[in-house]
Amino acid sequence: MLSARKSDLFFLFITASTLLIGIAFLHAEVQAARNLPRLQQQAQMVEKYDLTDLALCTEARYTRHPSQADRHTAFQDHPVSLEHFPTGSVIGPSHHLK
Amino acid sequence: MRAWVEKQRNMVDFTLSALLRRKGKNVSLLAVYTGVVFVLGSVMFFTEGMRREAHLILHGAPEIIVQKMVAGRHDLIPTAYMEKIRQIKGVQSVKERLWGYYYDPVVGANYTLLVPDDFKLGEGNIAIGKGISRKRLAYEGDILSFRGYTGDPLTFQIGEIFSAESELISADLVTVSEEDFRGMFAMTKEVATDLVVKVRNPKELATIATKIVQLLPDTRPILRDEILRTYDAVFSWRSSLMLVILLGAVFSFIILAWDKATGMSAEEKREIGILKAVGWETSDVLLMRFWEGVVVSASAFMLGVLLAYGHVFFASAMLFEPVLKGWSVLYPEFKITPFIAFNQVAALFFLTVIPYTVATIVPSWRTATIDPDSVMRL
């Protein structure tokens, strides 16, 4: 019985993986085109309700609405209060506050 | 050409057999390497996807928002400011925006309360986001109770639940009528949360923002461009989250490559000595080591990229969820739109595969050039 050489198996694996990465690129293209109406619908909602931020981190107001925050919001609790919400280290200060 | 191809295949056969002889070590190396590529790839796909998605969604955000500042803090703005801003040449319209936060002690979540321009559901009714509906087990037609500024309960009927597709912007959103909002927070008609300004010519946005500050020095205008740039910064590779993850991954990769580059085991050195003793050229040894680097790094790269793609775009970046959630009770359920660019994957390839392959060849160059007899005596 003929058995496949190790090198053949390796090149087969690399070819299959490259093909899968190619399929991932194709999937990304198709999915992005398919999601466009949903994104447009969300953009319309943003326009309709005058929204400014993504509802990604809802624990603190300066991470819920980073674009609307002022310099003090992260230290709002008392004068020497340190910024302590976990997402505060993820969502940095707004562009215009830097 | 055929002979060259056959030589390379033989070399790969030999390399794979050599790697499999040290199965435990090399499988763990492959697993760690794949993990590093997976983390780097996930971060790359996630940030790019979120950045592009935020851009597409938020391009409809207000052109200029005017906030009132008191002692460095955002404060309620007098509606009388609207008339003053309207006087500025180039301003098309000014309207008030009423919004705020409500902490719900029942589930410990923060909601964003907002008054739309044209609230069709009427007084006593609200529309809520899918996140709130999920958390409170509240559906259309149900009654939700809120506490007013006096502490008395205020009940609202749910007239609408925002679609699941819009969760990324509406998970914690509650829209109410102006009367209900003002009644709930004891806000008089003379004040609003902030103002939304529309201008005739978008090129004049910055000029008008400057004029607003000159006219009303206690205000702060926020331009749409600044909102978009905020999200660019949040999801850029220099943002805090990404830096922490990237640094961790990059350092583990450096340790990996350093370990490889600084030395070979006595067994590996002896193997090279034997190969040279049986007639292998230095170039053959280097070729074998090159293939060893390629086999490990290419496999890890392919697996890592594919796993990262699945993690971010099929599993909604579930490993990043605890980081983005923090102490939040409400978290949107959403699928990230896969925006990937070829140059991203190429950058990842050059950052991971090339340095590792080079790091594999360098120490073997040193070993392959010394006398086989002395290597075998090690």
For B46-91, how does the pLDDT look when each residue is reduced to its tens digit (9 = 90+)? 988 999 999 999 999 999 999 999 988 899 999 999 999 999 999 9
| pLDDT average, residue stretch B166-186 | 95
pLDDT band at A47 (very low <50, low <70, confident <90, very high): very high
pLDDT band at A52 (very low <50, low <70, confident <90, very high): very high
Give the integer Cα–Cα distance in Å for B185 and B268: 74
pLDDT band at B238 (very low <50, low <70, confident <90, very high): low
Instruction: Tell me what pLDDT residue B261 has.
Output: 66
Question: Which member of B169, B229, B330 has the closest CB to residue A54?
Answer: B169
pLDDT in tens, A63-86: 999 999 887 777 777 777 788 888
Give the number of other CB atoms < 10 A from CB of residue B223.
21
Give the integer Cα–Cα distance in Å for B302 and B295: 11
Q: What angle do CA B33, B38, B44 make, to 5 degrees?
A: 130
Whether pTM exceeds 0.80? yes
Considering chain B, what percentage of its residues have pLDDT values greater than 70? 97
Nearest chain B CA: its distance from A40 CA (Å): 7
Domain ranges (residues) in chain B: 2-58+234-376, 77-192
pLDDT band at B244 (very low <50, low <70, confident <90, very high): confident
The top-level CATH class assigned to B77-192 is mainly beta
Considering chain B, what percentage of its residues have pLDDT values greater than 90? 60
For residue B198, list its beta bridge partners: B93
Mapped onto helix, strand or coil, the DSSP state of residue B162 is coil
Instruction: Tell me what pLDDT residue B234 has.
Output: 85
Residues of chain B contacting residue A12, judged by C-beta atoms under 8 Å apart: none
Q: What is the mean pLDDT of chain B?
A: 90
Residue B288 in tokens: 């074998």
Residues of chain B contacting residue A53, judged by C-beta atoms under 8 Å apart: 58, 169, 227
pLDDT band at A53 (very low <50, low <70, confident <90, very high): very high
| pLDDT average, residue stretch B238-266 | 73
More confident residue, B161 or B270: B161
Give the integer Cα–Cα distance in Å for B127 and B138: 11
Q: Inter-chain contact B331–A58, Cβ cutoff 8 Å? A: yes
More confident residue, B82 or B293: B82
Instruction: Tell me what pLDDT residue B249 has.
Output: 77
Nearest chain A CA: its distance from B259 CA (Å): 25
- ipTM > 0.95? no
Q: How, if at all, do strands B125-128 and B153-161 pair? A: parallel
Domain ranges (residues) in chain A: 1-51, 52-98
Does A86 touch chain B if contact means CB atoms closer than 8 Å? yes
Indicate if the pLDDT at residue A1 is higher than 80. no
Indicate if the pLDDT at residue B307 is higher than 60. yes
Does A7 touch chain B if contact means CB atoms closer than 8 Å? yes
Q: Are B296 and B353 in contact (CB under 8 A)?
A: no
pLDDT in tens, B362-373: 777 777 777 777
pLDDT band at B314 (very low <50, low <70, confident <90, very high): very high
Instruction: Tell me what pLDDT residue B191 has.
Output: 97
Q: Inter-chain contact B116–A92, Cβ cutoff 8 Å? A: no
Q: Are B150 and B109 in contact (CB under 8 A)?
A: no
Instruction: Tell me what pLDDT residue A98 has.
Output: 64
